[in-house]
Structure 1
Amino acid sequence: MASYSIKLYEILILALITCTKAKLGEFKETSMTIYFQDQFGGPNATVAQILPEYIGGHLSFKKFGAIFCTDDLVTEGFDVSSAQVARAQGMYLTSALDGSNTHVLVSIVFNNGEYKGSTLEIQGASAQFERVREVAVVGGTGKFRFARGYLTFETIHINVEANLAVIQCNITVLHY
Structure 2
Amino acid sequence: MASNSIKLYLLLILALVRCSKAELGELKETSMTIYFQDQYGGPNATVAQILPENPDGHLSFKKFGAIFCTDDLVTEGFDVSSTQVARAQGVYITSALDGSNTHVLVSIVFNNGEFKGSTLEVQGASAQFERVREVAVVGGTGKFRFARGYVTFETIHINSAANLAVIQCNITVLHY
TM-score, normalised via structure 1 length: 0.92
Structure 1 ranges of 4+ moved more than 6 A:
5-11
TM-superposition CA deviations, 1:102-151 (whole Å, max 9, x none):
00000000000000000000000000000000000000000000000001
1:92 corresponding residue in structure 2: 92
Q: Cα offset for 1:55?
A: 1.4
Matched, 1:16 2:13: yes
Q: Cα offset for 1:17?
A: 2.4
2:61 corresponding residue in structure 1: 61
Instruction: Quote the Cα distance in structure 2 between the aligned partners of 1:161 and 1:39.
Output: 11
The amino acid across from 1:150 in the alignment is Y
The amino acid across from 1:144 in the alignment is F
TM-superposition CA deviations, 1:7-38 (whole Å, max 9, x none):
99787554322112222332100000000000
Structure 2, unpaired ranges of 5+? none
Identical columns (%): 82
1:112 corresponding residue in structure 2: 112
CA RMSD of aligned residues (A): 1.8
Structure 1, unpaired ranges of 5+? none
Instruction: Quote the Cα distance in structure 1 between the aligned partners of 2:173 and 2:144.
Output: 8
2:162 corresponding residue in structure 1: 162
Q: How many residues align?
A: 173
1:82 corresponding residue in structure 2: 82
2:174 corresponding residue in structure 1: 174
Instruction: Quote the Cα distance in structure 2 between the aligned partners of 1:17 and 1:127.
Output: 44
Structure 2 SS opposite 1:53? coil
Instruction: Quote the Cα distance in structure 1 between the aligned partners of 2:57 and 2:79.
Output: 26
TM-score, normalised via structure 2 length: 0.92
The amino acid across from 1:34 in the alignment is I
TM-superposition CA deviations, 1:71-115 (whole Å, max 9, x none):
000000000000000000000000000000000000000000000
